[in-house]
Amino acid sequence: MANVMVPFTNGKGGVGKTALACSYAAARAHEGADVILADTNEGQQTAMAWSAVRAHNDILPKVRVQPANTREALEMVGRCDVLVVDTPGWNDKGTLLLARKSTFMVIPTGPSPTFDLAPTVKLLHGLRAEGIETWRMGVVLSRFSNDDKIRDSEEELARTYLREAGQGQGGYTVLEGSVRNAPAYGAGLAEGYGLTEIDRGRGLADEARGMMNTISKGVSAALQKLMRLEKELGAFRSNPGKGKERDGGRGR
Site map for ligand ATP, 38-77, x if CB under 6 A? ---x--x-x-------------------------------
Contact 82, 53 (CB under 8 A): no
CB of 239 to ligand ATP, least distance (A): 47
Q: If binding is defined by CB under 6 A, does position 181 make contact with ligand ATP?
A: yes
Q: Give the number of C-alpha atoms closer than 13 A to the C-alpha of residue 34, restricted to the C-beta side.
A: 9
- Closer residue to Mg ion, CB minimum distance, 144 or 161: 144
CB of 185 to ligand ATP, least distance (A): 3
Q: Which stretch binds Mg ion (CB under 5 A): 44-52, 60-68, 138-146, 210-218?
A: 44-52
Name the residue among 6, 3, 45 with its Cα closest to residue 25: 6
Q: Give the whole-angstrom CA distance, residue 247 versus residue 48.
A: 53
Report the chain's C-alpha Rg in angstroms: 19
CB of 15 to ligand ATP, least distance (A): 4
HEC string for 180-222: ECCHHHHHHHHCCCCHHHCCCCCCHHHHHHHHHHHHHHHHHHH
Q: Which stretch binds Mg ion (CB under 5 A): 13-21, 62-70, 107-115, 154-162?
A: 13-21
In the list Mg ion, ligand ATP, none, the entry touching 185 (Cβ below 5 to 8 angstroms by class) is ligand ATP
Q: Give the whole-angstrom CA distance, residue 245 versus residue 23.
A: 49
Q: Give the whole-angstrom CA distance, residue 101 versus residue 146.
A: 35
Among 9, 10, 18, 196, binds Mg ion (CB under 5 A): 18
Q: With CB under 5 A as the rule, give the number of residues binding Mg ion.
A: 3
Find residue 189's DSSP bridge partners: none
Q: If binding is defined by CB under 6 A, does position 17 make contact with ligand ATP?
A: yes
CB of 202 to ligand ATP, least distance (A): 12
- Positions touching ligand ATP (CB under 6 A) are 13-19, 41, 44, 46, 88-89, 143, 179, 181-182, 185-186, 189
